[in-house]
Amino acid sequence: MGDSGLLLVLSGPSGVGKGTVCKALRERMPDLVYSVSATTRAPRAGEVEGVNYFFKTKEEFRRMIEQDELLEWAEYVGNYYGTPRLFVEEMLAKGRDVILEIEVQGALQVKKKFPQGVFLFLAPPDLAELENRIVGRGTETEETIRHRMEMARQEIELMDQYDYVVVNDVIDCACERIRSIITAEHLKKERQIHKYRKWLEEVK
Ligand SMILES: Nc1ncnc2c1ncn2[C@@H]1O[C@H](COP(=O)(O)OP(=O)(O)OP(=O)(O)O)[C@@H](O)[C@H]1O
Ligand SMILES: Nc1nc2c(ncn2[C@@H]2O[C@H](COP(=O)(O)O)[C@@H](O)[C@H]2O)c(=O)[nH]1
């Protein structure tokens, strides 16, 4: 057992507010490292290469898969999304807490590879509010909104596979709930490390 950082996986349906809550959380917890994903989706207005995403062609993305450069990846509503593996591993090894903001198929892949991660499902107050948020963001076509809402219904069914469900009713409240979870997970980990060191001393 090393002193590596926590791997936090924030997941949930499109439009629930993962990006918004994650941004608020990072402002409150500046030491938290954000994992920038790779995607084949086209950049939205204002999105910056290397900040919001690493934008890739489908060929580039497939090459990343073949060369085992991704911790997880998924095809979501016609595009590929994935987490660059090396960056996450290096940051964790340095003892930094890393947060992934990813959809559900990818989160469940990470859970298989890295069960000691902390898996958080961000849930909407209800489906009508979820749809209001996706529509209100103004980034998707009607067709994509319909597809993302279909995905949301399937994703919500999987929420009991997560360690925590956090309702994003009010941004500040959701953010504080996640902050409390991170604090509690750190205390839990420190207690485990302490027990492990004590055991090592006893068997010396
Ligand atoms: N608690 C909240 N109350 C009201 N509106 C919210 C709340 N949280 C987020 N929003 C709004 O909902 C919209 C979607 O939020 P956001 O883009 O953060 O969702 P997301 O889960 O990251 O979506 P995606 O998975 O598609 O990237 C945004 O317009 C955001 O301002
Ligand atoms: N499995 C992964 N999902 C990811 C990753 N990065 C983002 N996402 C999720 O995809 C959908 C759509 O995102 P959008 O930016 O097009 O709205 C959303 O749920 C993101 O959280 C990733 O690396 N892996």
Average pLDDT for 29-46: 97
Average pLDDT for 5-29: 97
Q: Is 118 known to sit in a ligand binding site?
A: no
ipTM at complex level? 0.98
CB of 167 shorter than 6 A to ligand 1: no
Residue 69 CA to residue 125 CA, distance in Å, equals: 36
> Residue 2 pLDDT > 80, yes or no?
no
Q: What's the pLDDT tens digit per position in 61-109?
A: 999 999 999 999 999 989 999 999 999 999 999 999 999 999 999 999 9
Pair of tokens at residue 160:
């009991």
Average pLDDT for 51-62: 98
Confidence of residue 141 (pLDDT cuts 50, 70, 90): very high
| Residue 78 pLDDT | 92
Ligand in closest contact with the CA of 173: 1
In terms of Cβ atoms closer than 10 Å to its own Cβ (0-12, 13-18, 19+), residue 150 is exposed
> Residue 1 pLDDT > 60, yes or no?
no
Pair of tokens at residue 45:
């207005």
* Residue 197: closest CA among 25, 22, 1, 20: 1
Q: What is the DSSP string of 28-61?
A: H-TTPEEPPEEE-SPPPTT--BTTTEEE--HHHH
Write down the pTM of the prediction. Answer: 0.95
> Residue 25 pLDDT > 90, yes or no?
yes
For a pocket test of ligand 1, which of 16, 20, 141, 144 has the largest count of ligand atoms closer than 8 A to its C-beta? 20
CB of 23 shorter than 6 A to ligand 1: no
Ligand in closest contact with the CA of 37: 2
Q: Is 4 known to sit in a ligand binding site?
A: no
CB of 109 shorter than 6 A to ligand 2: no
Q: DSSP letter at 48? A: -
Q: Is 106 known to sit in a ligand binding site?
A: no
Give the other-Cβ count within 10 Å of 15's Cβ.
24
